[in-house]
Amino acid sequence: MNKLIDIITDEVTKAFVAAGYDAKYGKVTLSNRPDLCEYQCNGAMAAAKEYKCAPFMISDKIAEALSGNPMFAMAESVKPGFLNIKISNEYLAEYLNSMQKDEGRYGCEKAAEPKTIMIDYGGPNVAKPLHVGHLRSAIIGESVKRIGKFMGHHMIGDVHLGDWGLQMGLIITELKLRRPELVYFDESFEGEYPKEAPFTIAELEEIYPTASGKSKEDAAYKEAAMQATYELQHGRRGYQALLKHILEVSVSDLKKNYENLNVSFELWKGESDAQPYIPDMVQKMKDDGYAYISDGALVVDVKEDTDTKEIPPCMILKSDGASLYNTTDLATMVWRMKDYHPDELIYVVDKRQELYFTQVFRCARKTGIVKPETELKFLGFGTMNGKDGKPFKTREGGVMRLEYLVSAINEEMLKKITENQKSKEDLDIDQEEAVRTAKTVALSAIKYGDLSNQASKDYIFDIDRFTSFEGNTGPYILYTIVRIKSILSKYEAMGKDASACSSVIKAADSENEKNLMLVLSRFNAVMENAFEETAPHKICAYIYELANAFNGFYHGTKILSEENEEIQKSYIAVLCLTKCILETCIDVLGFSAPDRM
């Protein structure tokens, strides 16, 4: 379906053309004075310059031409030359009826030419606990992926595990110290290594911090860990077998964690998967004359003439021949291009890595790792801060682990749900349902709290505000959906048919209802724009507006006691459409609503 704003623009454009003006002046936008009108066209102001006349002479003519057009309830010329427009209630109802019939899409068309888009998000480091920075990447990345999918694109999420760093050597070193008898440490061993990992996730979670702590105090220990890392990276069999075990154990734990967040990945590749591509990639960079030795290291220049600040060369290999984070990211692009031919790569990473990604992207383009037509997008996110404005910490001052944060919110939510239900006698939620509901609502609090901010901005994680049932919060949105569900079930309990959901929507008979209908009509435009701008926060802003518009309608309208059957059915249909659109939106944001709360 065409966007309503485009349909209106077409109509106004026709009037401009018919009156002898250029079509480009007919552009209509949403009104920035909703008290005066719903849409506006400022084209006459600009056209006046070209046609050398007073702007209102043009706007008057256009208003005149539009009067009597059944699409508009008002098309008014106001001095000095604005066109204030209101759509007719009948036309708007027609539009909503078409949306309703377009089940599942509600007027939002899929992309005519679907793209393959790979999205790099999550980025957890194996054996290290997830922290809140990883939370942001997961939440934003998942939503960007879902928006793309909804728009019909082929979205491939890759978790890009950090599985190639010193943490591996640390674990190996500690394990060797504790259990030297393990076959993995016997260099002469040539047989098959055991299938089972020699540790559980609980042990792994204890081994890593212990080893990390020791390495900070004991230089020899650190040296041993670095040596182990080197040997692992250079193919020592026993260590590679251990790496596999570490991966198995932590990946299954990570999957559980991400599942709890309603986040999933199509690919579970890691930094280690890129290693086989490094030698050829480096060789080619040398052969093509891009890579050269500078201070012993192999680098590629990436600065450009138009740079206003210094962009240092991209380092490909250290002087000892070791590869770096850069090398891995570039080699990862090699297999992504080879195996998936993406039209676009999106990286959802902490914005403090922006310069780094500028270097990597430029290097990838320059050396031909990515094709010129492949888009590279860095979606940098800001820091999640505590109420004191400083990076989120535990009470003791440590890095906040994701699990703690999630369980703190779950607890807070359970308290609220339990209290809330005490005030409503007809709500007989048992403990089990309360716990389940609290989890669902808590997830909305976390995700909406994050996504409602533009990704690049820092924000304050405020449990009290995020878990509130009022204001611009996830729980408020869910509460609105639950309210609609409850009206619908009361309607059914009155012995009426639920199929009223698809009955004809009549022209609005109140300002509140019209306002709700106007917001509903924008769904396709909002979704498209959120995709184009990789901006989930636009969907949050939209559903907040939609929830407010709905609640305005709900408070101003007697829905269940309406005596005229046809009018009541039309209300029910509007309710259903509102619910479907809210649910579609929260689904692309990555959370869902309970049946009651």
Residues that bind ligand ARG (CB under 6 A): 120, 123, 125, 160, 162, 329, 347, 349
Is beta strand 39-41 parallel, antiparallel or unpaired with respect to 72-78? unpaired
Nearest approach in angstroms of CB 286 to ligand ARG is 24
Contact present, 458 and 450 (Cβ < 8 Å):
no
Q: Which CB sits closer to ligand ARG, 245 or 336?
A: 336
**Whole-angstrom distance, CA of residue 402 vs CA of residue 519:** 36
State the angle between helix axes of 219-233 and 166-178 in degrees (0 to 180), rounded to the nearest 10. 110
Q: Which CB sits closer to ligand ARG, 120 or 450?
A: 120
DSSP string, 376-399: EEEEEE--EE-TTSSBPB-TTSSB
Q: Which CB sits closer to ligand ARG, 273 or 329?
A: 329
Nearest approach in angstroms of CB 208 to ligand ARG is 14
Q: Which CB sits closer to ligand ARG, 360 or 589?
A: 360
Select the residue whose beta carbon is closest to ligand ARG and give its number: 123
Nearest approach in angstroms of CB 276 to ligand ARG is 17
Q: Which CB sits closer to ligand ARG, 1 or 364?
A: 364
Q: Which CB sits closer to ligand ARG, 127 or 175?
A: 127
Contact present, 578 and 546 (Cβ < 8 Å):
yes
Nearest approach in angstroms of CB 123 to ligand ARG is 3
Is beta strand 82-87 parallel, antiparallel or unpaired with respect to 384-385? unpaired
**Whole-angstrom distance, CA of residue 263 vs CA of residue 261:** 5
Q: Which CB sits closer to ligand ARG, 317 or 333?
A: 333
Query: Which ranges in 396-472 belong to alpha helices (H)?
Result: 402-422, 431-451, 463-466
Nearest approach in angstroms of CB 295 to ligand ARG is 24
DSSP string, 534-568: T-HHHHHHHHHHHHHHHHHHHHH---TT---HHHH
Q: Which CB sits closer to ligand ARG, 95 or 381?
A: 381
Nearest approach in angstroms of CB 383 to ligand ARG is 13
Nearest approach in angstroms of CB 213 to ligand ARG is 19
Q: Which CB sits closer to ligand ARG, 183 or 355?
A: 355
Contact present, 257 and 402 (Cβ < 8 Å):
yes
Contact present, 383 and 404 (Cβ < 8 Å):
no
DSSP state of 469: S
Nearest approach in angstroms of CB 332 to ligand ARG is 7
Nearest approach in angstroms of CB 130 to ligand ARG is 9
**Whole-angstrom distance, CA of residue 105 vs CA of residue 577:** 11
DSSP state of 270: B
**Whole-angstrom distance, CA of residue 464 vs CA of residue 135:** 19
What is the Cα Rg of the chain in Å? 29
Residue with tokens 């998936």: 340
State the angle between helix axes of 536-556 and 511-521 in degrees (0 to 180), rounded to the nearest 10. 160
Q: Which CB sits closer to ligand ARG, 125 or 374?
A: 125
**Residue type at 545 in one-letter notation:** E
Nearest approach in angstroms of CB 137 to ligand ARG is 7
